[in-house]
Amino acid sequence: MPSHDEVLATAFDHQAPLFERAPVQTDRAALRRLVRRAAFAAEARVLDAGCGPGLVAEALLEAGRSVFGVDLSSAMVARAAARCGRFGSRFAVIQASLFDPALNVYNNSFDGAISRYVVHHVEDPRLFLARQVELLRPGGVLVACDHVTDPDAALAARHNEIELLRDRSHTRSLTPGALVDLFATAGVDNIRLVEDIYMLDFDEWFDRGHSTVEKADLRRKLLAGPRPRGFAAYEEPGGGVRIEGRRVIVRGVKPAA
């Protein structure tokens, strides 16, 4: 069986072209809001953990930060390099796991670390966040943006079942409270959370996934059941389906030495 990292790399190599154009990924207002909420120092050096095609990195670079991107997918790394190469020495990107021992040379060196839509793909979110904290200097800022699920366990299970059918690289969407708890156990202070609503078009969302079922079957399943908070599906008059999702930005600070 392939490792989960191999599953992730394969999935995102496959969906890279559609992912890079997806409305929820490219939303400029949402990217600006993420940069503003992250509130990294003016000339901060930021680790982009799971950088994908460089959309978050580009927004941070445009705001004056420097970015070091890390991603498992060779296709995503190539797209990030092409997108952000114009920023010269302020941008670098490598294909690697965040847990690669070669990255130990960067321990306690970044002013900030950020991930967007990555937490729900990793096997151990606590370790994923704690590893970023290791790479932060004392006083550095940790930020995660991710979609979240219903606090009701049964509704959350339904949400996660559908997500996994649509894309086998999915592990588990968390509740807002669970993500805050993970920040606390990862060792950061001054934790803050903000939430907003976003919309998905079912067809666009399905088509860029790595599904194990037919689209029509998943559509029926999605519309047949209850509507979890964070993943509520509605059939539109023209026959399309929209999904109302909820995402959070969580921010914390590594304690000073």
**pLDDT > 90 in the chain, percent:** 96
Mean pLDDT of all residues in 160-171: 95
Give the tens place of pLDDT for each residue, 39-63. 999 999 999 999 999 999 999 999 9
pLDDT digits (tens, 9 = 90+) for 9-30: 999 999 999 999 999 999 999 9
Whether the per-residue pLDDT at 2 is higher than 80: the answer is no
| Predicted local confidence at residue 210, as pLDDT | 84
Distance CA 232, CA 245 (A): 7
**What proportion of the chain, given as a percentage, has pLDDT over 70?**
100
Query: For 192-226, how does the pLDDT look when each residue is reduced to its tens digit (9 = 90+)?
Result: 999 999 999 999 999 999 888 999 999 999 999 89
Under the banding of pLDDT at 50, 70 and 90, the label for residue 107 is very high
What is the separation of C-alpha 134 from the centre of its chain, rounded to a whole number of angstroms?
19
All structural domains of the chain, each given as residue ranges with its CATH number in brackets, are: 4-147+169-195+247-253 (3.40.50.150)
Task: Show the tokens assigned to 65.
Answer: 């930060």
* Per-residue model confidence (pLDDT) at position 212: 83
- Beta-bridge mates of residue 243: 200, 233
Is a pLDDT exceeding 70 seen at residue 160?
yes
Give mean pLDDT, residues 140-169: 97
Map the chain to HEC letters: CCCHHHHHHHHHHHHHHHHCCCHHHHCHHHHHHHHHHHCCCCCCEEEEECCCCCHHHHHHHHCCCEEEEEECCHHHHHHHHHHHHHHHHHEEEEECCCCCHHHHHHCCCEEEEEEECCHHHCCCHHHHHHHHHHHEEEEEEEEEEEEECCCCHHHHHHHHHHHHHHECCCCCCECHHHHHHHHHHHCCEEEEEEEEEEEEEHHHHHHCCECCCCHHHHHHHHHHCCCCCCEEEEECCCCCEEEEEEEEEEEEECCCC
Across the chain, mean pLDDT equals: 96
Query: What is the pTM for the complete model shown?
Result: 0.96
Mean pLDDT (whole number) for 181-194: 97
Band (183; pLDDT cuts 50, 70, 90): very high
Q: For residues 88 and 1, give the distance between their C-alpha atoms in angstroms, rounded to a whole number.
A: 40
Residue bearing the bigger pLDDT, 103 or 257: 103
Q: For residue 131, what are its two tokens?
A: 């590893």
Q: Which residue has the tokens 């900030």?
A: 112
The reported pLDDT for the residue numbered 111 is 98
Provide the pLDDT for residue 202.
Answer: 98
Q: pLDDT-based confidence at 191, cuts 50/70/90?
A: very high
The structure tokens listed for 58 are 């580009």
Position 1 confidence tier, pLDDT thresholds 50, 70, 90: low
